[in-house]
Structure formats: structure tokens, C-alpha cells
Amino acid sequence: MNYIETIRELAEITAPSGFEKAVTDRLAELCKPYASEITLDPLGTLLVHKKGSGKKTLLTAACDTSGFIATYIDDDGFVRVGELGKCIPSACVGLPVRFQNGTRGVIGCDGGVEVKDLRARHLYIDTMGETVRVGDACAADLPTYASGDSIVSPAMNRACCAVLLDVLQRYTGDGDVTFAFTAQGMLGGRGASPAAYAADAARAIAVELTTAGDTPESESRSKVKLGEGPVLPVSVGGTAANLGLIAELEACGVTRRAVDERGQSALLGLQGVRAGVRACVAGIAARYSGVMTIARVSDMQQTAELLLAAL
């Protein structure tokens, strides 16, 4: 699979949290030739089932991105917004955005507000007179591009979706595997629990971005670096992974562990379903958590190899 082209295609689809239909429609098309069954759950998560007689496994990746929702439109057409997922308001000023109906705009902010005090309520979108309704959603309208082995994107979690697609296309074992492209992942991983309930699997592995600590301004003491393959976070955002499942993945050749204190994960939602699910994260190292994120194709490919070995 061509990761660069796949991620670029998926990243160009405007699908912020709660408004995932456009990206799940495309993912369903890409999955159809390899799936036994494809369904969309009530929350908007795409469930792709590859039937088998062996062990049941759930693989997840969030397919949404952070964005904004129109909350008020003044008489001059300026659009006030609320957050859909995590954002850094000061990094959003001047950001081009695109609504799901195709309308484009640029984010501005109220005058007289110090950068340290800037909040989402101080932001507005200048759509240059184009039509937007209250309740319409938008996301960053920036290009995804490659530089050598690196990919730069405002929707880097779609790289996690690409890893799942790669595994789906190549898996030939007898395991019973459900691939969940989850909705509302940027809103605390809400899509994870319904997906785990539907899959009824004994174990779940979430493919997620893991914060790299290899930049000069990094406040973490993490030794996670780009280009060194997948990482296995023992804890993400205060939620512990299943150590037994981590050991199973380590037996497949991955030895890098980490603690991602600032990250958010589907772990909590996955673990608390039915009588409990063994869950962990297969992490892809990523730099920056603002508008643009950098990750390595080689790390994505090695993560796919890890999952294939684990299945």
C-alpha cells in the first residue's frame, strides 16, 4: 500500500469529531474488497469484519479530526465557533478551514485579548460571505505532504487508519478480526466502547499517535523518537494498558515502552466493556500536537508488521 497517497487522500476529507460520514464512506469503499462484512454503528464508527475461526481481536483507529462547529453567525457573516476536540486557540489564528459543504474560511480572533488568555470563544471564522449554518462543522484546510520518509499533515491520525487498511489487505490468517475506524476519537475516544461491545473480542489493540520526545522544546522526558518503529505505551493520559497484552506484542519483536502522560487514548473505553477487555496501544511516534503533525512512513509500516505478527 502507498502510505503517502492513502494518508493524503484521507486527510483531505473534512470529517471532524461527530461528522465522520464523509471519511467512513471512503474507508468503506477501500475496505470492501477485503471484508466479510461492513457495518456502521449508530455513533458513526465503521466496523469492518474479517471472519475467521480463531481468536477474536479488535483493532481500532480514530477516523475523525479535531475541528470547530458553528455556534453563532452575526449580521456581517462572521461565524463564532465551539471546539470539536482539542485545539490550541493561539495556534489557530490565521488558520484556513473548510466546512463539510465546501465553504472555506480563515480563523480570526477578537482584538485586545492576550495570547495567554485566548480561548475558543474569542475565535471567529471569516467565510468571505459564503453560506454557513449554525451546526456546520469545519476542520483545518492545509495540505498533507511528504518529505523523504516523513509525512506532515493536519490530520495525522488518518495514518492510523492507513495502518489498519494495510493490515486488512494483507492478513491471511484464521483469526476473527474486526477493524474499527472509530467516531469521536478526539472527544475522549467515545467510539471505542460501542466498537468493543460489537466486536465482543477478548483483546483490543488501538493504533494511535504517541507523543515523541525528540524535539528541543519537548517538556516530556520520553525517549520516543521518530524512525525507530512502533512503541508500546504502558500508560496513556493516566490510563494503564494491559501488561499481558503488551508482553504478547513484545514477543513479536517490539521492545520500546513509553508513558504518554499528555496523550488521549481509546484505552479506557475499550477496557470497560462487558466483563472487561484486554487492551493496549500500538503507538506511532509523532511530533507536535498543534495544527500540523509529523510522523514517519517507516514507523507506520513497522506498526502494520507488528499487528500482522500479533494476529
Predicted confidence at residue 233, as pLDDT, reads 95
pLDDT at residue number 218: 67
Domains 3-65+144-310 and 67-140 share a fold: no
CATH code of domain 67-140: 2.40.30.40
Yes or no: say if 153 and 146 are a contact pair by the CB < 8 Å rule.
no
Query: What is the per-residue pLDDT across 89-130, written as a single tens digit (0 to 9) for each?
Result: 989 999 999 999 999 999 999 998 888 889 999 999 999 999
Given this model, what pLDDT does residue 154 score? 96
Below-50 pLDDT ranges, the chain: none
Residue 10 has what pLDDT? 98
- Please name the fold of domain 3-65+144-310: Aminopeptidase (3.40.630)
Ranges of each domain in the chain: 3-65+144-310, 67-140
pLDDT at 306: 97
Q: What is the model's pLDDT at position 146?
A: 97
The pLDDT, as a whole number, for residue 119 is: 92
Question: For 249-288, what is each residue's pLDDT tens digit?
Answer: 999 999 899 998 877 899 999 999 999 999 999 999 999 8
